Amino acid sequence: MKKIFLIFNFTFLIFNCLYSEHFIQAGVFRYKEEAVNQQLYLASRNYPVMISVNGHYKIIVGPYENKETADFTVSKLLSEENISAFLIDETDAEKITESLGVQEIEISDEVLGELVNVAFDFLGVTYKYGGMDVEKGIDCSYFMQKVYKSLGTVLPRTSNLQFRIGKKVKRDELIPGDLVFFRKYPRNSRIGHVGMYIGNDEFIHASYGAKKVIISSLNETYFKKRFSGARRPL
């Protein structure tokens, strides 16, 4: 059995984000069950969504890296989903992570194995920058989104945002299913790539260089120089 951190269950995420980014409130509920139903619906529509608990259960969508994207999402929630939504001001955004209740539970090796097996099903799938279509091509962060969604966990769209969720993990504490992140350049601090650790110092990822989903070693010189850290979203 492996111990990992969840917020209530698989459908809840921990967002340890920079507070300068933009969040949207898309509903507030008295009962958790109602909030979960709303969250699952928005997750099925590919919104990055979580629940903040502070007396009531608030549906939080985001984070978004720029205000224009956040404003567009608010309009989309109002017009297409018929959901009352508005941008959260910066002061309230600072309280978001403080209101997420975390509990430690045990997840079986079978569940972790299932996650890795889902990832293996993508081996050989074409890489395409910004791609979100398995037939035409996918990029590294969408690959991780797709795999984790099979267990009901919704990740942000980009590797840079995925790097800010969940529990930080040291390299010698990696377990299968952890996300591993790499800088675009050896001396560049910005995250440019993500993959999933599968054990034995190996990870599976949608590779720009290979133009497909492959398995690589963390010990390869290219990745050793660019390794930036790991996260455990579950």
> Active-site positions?
140, 193, 205
For 178, half-sphere exposure in the C-beta direction (CA atoms, 13 angstrom radius) is 25
- From residue 152, how far is each of 57, 80, 147, 218, 233 by CA, in Å? 19, 23, 9, 27, 12
- How many residues comprise the chain? 234
CA neighbor of 152 nearest in space, from 195, 118, 104: 118
CA distance 5 to 214: 28
CA distance 87 to 74: 7
Cβ atoms 118, 213 nearer than 8 A: no
- From residue 193, how far is each of 52, 60, 63 by CA, in Å? 28, 26, 19
